Chain A
Amino acid sequence: MSTQTSGHALSAAEAGLVACTTCALLSRPADAANPGDCPRCGAPLTSRQRNSIQYTWALIIAAAICYVPANVLPVLTTTAFGSVESDTIMGGVIYLYASGSWPLAIIVFVASVMIPLGKLVALAYLLITIQRGSAANSHQRTRIYVLVEFVGRWSMLDVFVDAFIVALIQLKPLMSVEPGAGVVFFMAVVVLTMVAAQTFDPRLIWDAGNNRQVQHG
């Protein structure tokens, strides 16, 4: 691959051009401050997403805040034969592990605890490196970003399972499952990180290596 060309590649912004984020058409902006719309698909053109870093930061922080109650509050409240049990995500993982189904425990742990946390950390890392103008490991960082975006759609698995179980297991009065408040926060974490991954403009990763003077903001 073209890893060696990283620092020297000419970017569209440097060339005074704008690439359409929708149809990838390279065009000359209408004027520097206000690039105008894509001549082919009509999408608004931006050299870099506006306020990308600020937006991403806000969403990441919101997600980080939500991550705490998502793990502290129960996600499922099971009422079976009169006994009420509330389970948090970690509680479920521990239960699965303790009852011997450690592969399942690992899946749940990875999908529900590690991935959201990893996404938060990864995005925070990307933002910090961009703000510090770091040009190192741009390839790795891009890969991280691709991974974050790819994984995002899978982290709703937990919410899905929750919704399924709650809808299916309503054998009142013998057994019923109610969603807990934790699942709402968990969903918020997933949605917020997904949106954060969208608002993050990966082109910023390369700007530092190409031109330290590029404004991001």
Chain B
Amino acid sequence: MAEPTDREDLPKATVVRPKRTRISIIWIIPILAALVAVGIAIQRIRSEGPTITIIFNAAEGIEAGKTFVKYKDVIIGRVTQVQLTSDFARVNVTVKIVKHAAPLMVEDAQFWVVKPSISITGISGLNTLLSGNYIGFQPGVSDNSWDTFGGLDEAPVITEQRGRQFVLTASDLGSLDTGSPIYYRRLQVGQVAAFDLAPDGKSVQLKIFVNAPYDKYVYPGTRFWNASGIDISLGADGLNVRTESMVALLVGGVAFDNPPELGQTEPAGPNTTFTLYRDRVAALRATDPYARRYVLYFNESLRGLAVGAPVTFLGLPAGEVSSVGLAFDAASATIRPRVVVTFSPERLLAYGNVPAEVQAFKTAMQDEQKRASVLRRLVEERGLRAQLKSGNLLTGQMYVALDYYPGAPKVKLDLRQPEIVLPVEPGTFAVLEAKLTSILDKIDKMPLEAIGRDLSKDLASLDVTLASATKLLNNADAHVVPPLKTALEDAHNTLVAVERAMNNVNTTILGPDAPAQQELRSALQDFARAARSLRVLADQLERQPSSVIRGKTDAGSGGR
């Protein structure tokens, strides 16, 4: 380029003092404010959860902005919008879910409106009276996240409390309902979760839920029964009244217990199916694995014997009557009572006092061969017999007693039949009846009329005899009594004389001043004196035997 010229007419560049563009520290304030604001914004955006839609039949108590979705009482979402669906049939509830609950929004999650409900089993959702309804939530198990859900009309009963679900099969529902309590030893341990008719329509299936610490008491052998209302039973064992709690009394419930013969086993797995028995008695007498049925052919009336009547062994309940019926035998034209009893040796084992014995017996029972031989010996050697007994004279209830009758006629036990026939012993009532009958028969056979006739004849002659006897006595009165009187007076005089004589004797011999007495007394005194001297001598000799020879020394010096 060219050299700079030195012309004067050109303007001279001015030197401007550089402006101090120092950035003041004050700018930290807006930067700080911006940072905080941006930070909050970012946090807001990050915490933004998904928006879901729940379709309800009715938006009862649901308000946009005020209704929350709660899970375990923790707010996981808030209703942002409530709208009718496009066909105006239902309600779309739009819910903003909080970020951390977003993973819970899976395909099978459940939503329902929680509202206060007051039923006889209790009051639930009371807090909603104040806070308004809220939407309950139950997480699902699916992995597919979802954003549109169908809301439930009713709350599902089971929230995921720990515990186990079991299935009960019952012939009918009774007074049970969802939410009916489950009792174990009168403690409420669960509830009925749901019920439904069995697929074949012939029974009812109840899903029950037993809460966690108690579910371990449900074994495969546990018995469930309907504990609704009062259970009054008038059986052979008297009047029984049983109830569970007052609530169960009013609304029904299910109770369970473990039969005493049931040992410690593994708890039942979830969804194990149990039978729901009618009542406690029926439940606890339900058959055990070692129970066997035996047939009894009685020879007496079965009146008072009902199905379910107890079977006792030596007085302890050990089974029950399974069926009461008749056996027909056309060939011999006989119809006789046939009673089938279920005998549960397991239940007897519960009475065993020595565990080792019980265990040994139990193992023996498990072996069919040994079992049969035990039974054979019991019946053939010990004389085990079944007998109908009256449990209650008032009601006439009968039961079957198995007892030993060593004097009973010997029988052979046929063990090959599927249902073993046990020998029977005539019932005490029957025996009594038979004896009474025979006595009555004998009375009946007596010729009472003839006896009566003879008796009246005899009485007539007796009358005559008595008349002559009276006459005779009158005679005696006249002729015998006066001399008898004199004789008696004489006797009296004699006795008076005798008495006087005796008094004499008394004064001379026995009286205190009687001479005989005096002499006797002095003699006795002399005798006593002699005896005393003798005793002194004896003492002297004992102390100083030598005195016999050497003469008496100074008294007392010998011993001292």
Contact = CB atoms under 8 A, between A and B. Distances in A.
Interface of A: 51, 54-55, 58-59, 61-63, 65-66, 68-69, 73, 81-85, 174, 181, 185, 188, 192, 199, 217
Interface residues of B, number: 23
19 contacts: A51-B24, A51-B26, A54-B26, A58-B26, A58-B29, A59-B29, A59-B30, A62-B29, A62-B34, A65-B34, A65-B37, A82-B128, A82-B132, A85-B65, A174-B130, A185-B37, A192-B29, A199-B26, A217-B20
B26 A59 contact: yes
Nearest to B38: A65
A73 B40 contact: yes
A191 B122 CA distance: 55
B186 interface: no
Top 7 closest A-B pairs, CB basis? A82-B131, A62-B30, A81-B130, A62-B33, A61-B30, A58-B26, A65-B33
A66 B41 CA distance: 12
B37 A68 contact: yes
Interface of B: 19-20, 24, 26-27, 29-30, 32-34, 36-37, 40-41, 65-66, 68, 75, 127-128, 130-132
B24 A54 contact: yes
A-side interface mostly: helix
Contact of B30 (A58, A68, A69): A58
A59 B26 CA distance: 8
B-side interface mostly: helix
Contacts of B27: 54, 58
A58 B31 CA distance: 9
B26 A217 contact: no
Given A59-B30, A83-B131, 5 more contacts: A59-B26, A62-B29, A65-B33, A65-B37, A81-B131
B72 to A, nearest CB: 16
A39 B446 CA distance: 160
Given A58-B26, A58-B29, A59-B26, A85 B127 contact: no
A198 to B, nearest CB: 12
Given A62-B32, A82-B131, A85-B66, A55 B26 contact: yes
Contacts of A55: 24, 26
Nearest to B23: A54
Nearest to A66: B33
Contacts of B68: 84
Q: Which of B27, B65, B66 has the most CB of A within 10 A?
A: B27
Contact of A65 (B30, B66, B75, B131): B30
B132 A83 contact: yes
Contacts of B40: 69, 73, 181
A77 to B, nearest CB: 12
Nearest to B67: A83
Nearest to A54: B24
A54 B75 CA distance: 47
B69 to A, nearest CB: 13
A66 B29 CA distance: 11
Contacts of A199: 26
B350 to A, nearest CB: 53
Q: Which of B24, B30, B34, B66 has the most CB of A within 10 A?
A: B30
A197 to B, nearest CB: 14
B23 to A, nearest CB: 8
Nearest to B27: A58
Nearest to A79: B131
B131 A188 contact: no
Nearest to B131: A82
A83 B37 contact: no
Nearest to B22: A51
Contacts of A65: 30, 33-34, 37
Contacts of B128: 82
B67 to A, nearest CB: 8
Contacts of A63: 33
Contact of B19 (A51, A83, A217): A217
Nearest to A69: B37
